[in-house]
């Protein structure tokens, strides 16, 4: 993961790049101006080194991507690669996801991704697919905005599907083994640092896409698979 000294150097350099932002920048409602066009904006929450944002940005030049994470030394990798590749439709923002509404206007975001998040086994509310976080995403996303989740974790996958059932959300795709898909869509064939670790460990990769809608998640409600709650059926994705 690099020495502490290297981390500090990357952290400092991150702040000097032209494609990076943090809490000192007033970005709320300004992202169209920042990108210099009206293309739809997609965020990746907890993007780490930003491989997914970079991969999607290469596939879709007419969509703008923003990778969000709190760790500047990880974001450094994504931002540097974007500059080296000359990718102008991807930026990186160092903030706590919890405070997203301070950096984006309501409706500013068209779609979101979460790739290989920490499953937070001991605290459901810390999981990035819990009702608490879905409410945070809804504050900045278009009413028909979609949340894409790619994970190795059965716990995270199940929590996401349970939350969709609790909130009555439309689940557009529910794939329990991404790499068994034939053909495999290009947007699912992008690997991150953490995905590669889990692939080497022989884990099956799961993918869920849901429409977040206008609902407000009741963060006190709980269900679990053991109670036999019917979950959305497995689907193939377009
Ligand atoms: C397991 S890593 C996954 C990184 C990347 N998506 C990947 O697949 O390689 C989880 C990332 O989530 C970030 N993270 C977790 N909670 C966060 C929060 N509340 N705000 C910002 N970043 C967060 C961490 O800093 C870390 O980089």
Which CATH number do you get for residue 156? 3.40.50.150
Ligand 1 mean position to 149 CA, how many Å?
13
> Residue 80: what pLDDT?
97
Residues touching ligand 1 (Cβ under 6 Å) are 46-48, 69-71, 74, 96-98, 115-118, 192-195
> Residue 224: what pLDDT?
59
Q: How many CB atoms lie within 10 A of CB 32?
A: 14
Please state the rounded mean pLDDT for residues 70-94: 97
pLDDT averaged over every residue in the chain: 93
Ligand 1 mean position to 130 CA, how many Å?
15
Q: Would you place residue 56 in the very low, low, confident or very high pLDDT band (cuts 50, 70, 90)?
A: very high
> Residue 10: what pLDDT?
87
What is the distance of C-alpha 108 from the center of its chain? 15
114 belongs to a structural domain = yes
233 belongs to a structural domain = no
> Residue 205: what pLDDT?
98
Ligand 1 mean position to 106 CA, how many Å?
23
- Tens digit of each residue's pLDDT (9 = 90 or more) over 169-217: 999 999 999 999 999 999 999 999 999 999 999 999 999 999 998 888 8
- Residues that are catalytic: 118
Cis previous bond, 82, omega within 30: no
Q: Would you place residue 12 in the very low, low, confident or very high pLDDT band (cuts 50, 70, 90)?
A: confident
Query: How many domains is the chain partitioned into structurally?
Result: 1
- Name the residue with the closest Cα to ligand 1, atom 16: 46
Would you state the structure tokens that stand for residue 150, as one six-digit string? 């790619």
**Residue 215 belongs to domain spanning:** 4-227
- Name the residue with the closest Cα to ligand 1, atom 27: 48
d(C-alpha 161, C-alpha 159), whole Å:
5
Indicate whether this model's pTM tops 0.85: yes
d(C-alpha 159, C-alpha 172), whole Å:
16
Q: Ligand 1: which of 2, 53, 66, 70 to mutate, judged by most atoms within 8 Å of the beta carbon?
A: 70
Would you state the structure tokens that stand for residue 116, as one six-digit string? 């290989």
185 belongs to a structural domain = yes
152 belongs to a structural domain = yes
> Residue 230: what pLDDT?
66
- Ligand 1 atom closest to the CA of 193, numbered from 1: 9
186 belongs to a structural domain = yes
Q: Would you place residue 231 in the very low, low, confident or very high pLDDT band (cuts 50, 70, 90)?
A: confident
Q: Which residues contact 233 (CB under 8 A, 6 or more apart)?
A: 174
234 belongs to a structural domain = no
Q: What is the 3-state secondary structure (H, E, C) of 106-150?
A: CCCEEEEEEECCCCCCCCHHHCCCCHHHHHHHHCCEEEEEEEEEE
Judging by DSSP bridges, how do beta strands 206-211 and 170-175 pair with one another?
A: antiparallel
- Tens digit of each residue's pLDDT (9 = 90 or more) over 126-157: 999 999 999 999 999 999 999 999 999 999 99
Is residue 194 within 8 Å of 69, Cβ to Cβ?
Answer: no
Angle between helices 4-14 and 72-85 (to 10 degrees): 60
- Ligand 1 atom closest to the CA of 195, numbered from 1: 8
* Residue-wise burial string across 148-180, b where 16 or more C-beta atoms lie within 10 A, e elsewhere: bbbbbbeebbbbbbbbbebbebebebbbeebee
238 belongs to a structural domain = no
């Amino acid at each position: 993961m690099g020495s502490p000294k290297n981390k500090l150097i990357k952290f400092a350099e991150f702040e000097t790049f032209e494609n990076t932002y943090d809490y000192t920048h007033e970005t709320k409602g300004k992202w169209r101006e920042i990108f210099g066009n009206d293309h739809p904006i997609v965020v990746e929450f907890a993007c780490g080194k930003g491989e997914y944002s970079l991969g999607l940005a290469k596939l879709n030049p007419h969509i703008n991507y923003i990778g969000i994470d709190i760790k500047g030394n990880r974001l450094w990798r994504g931002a540097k690669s974007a500059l080296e590749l000359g990718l102008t439709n991807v930026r990186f923002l160092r903030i706590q996801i919890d405070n997203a509404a301070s950096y984006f206007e309501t409706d500013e975001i068209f779609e979101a991704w979460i790739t290989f998040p920490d499953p937070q086994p001991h605290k459901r509310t810390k999981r990035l697919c819990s009702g608490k976080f879905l409410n945070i995403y809804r504050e900045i996303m278009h009413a028909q905005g979609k949340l894409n989740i790619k994970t190795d974790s059965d716990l995270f996958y199940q929590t996401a599907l349970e939350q969709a059932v609790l909130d009555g959300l439309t689940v557009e795709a529910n794939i329990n083994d991404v790499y068994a898909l034939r053909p495999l869509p290009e947007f699912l064939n992008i690997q991150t640092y953490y995905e590669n670790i889990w692939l080497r460990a022989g884990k099956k990769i799961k993918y869920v896409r849901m429409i977040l809608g206008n609902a407000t998640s009741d963060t006190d409600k709980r269900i679990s698979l053991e109670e036999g709650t019917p979950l959305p059926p497995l689907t193939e994705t377009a």
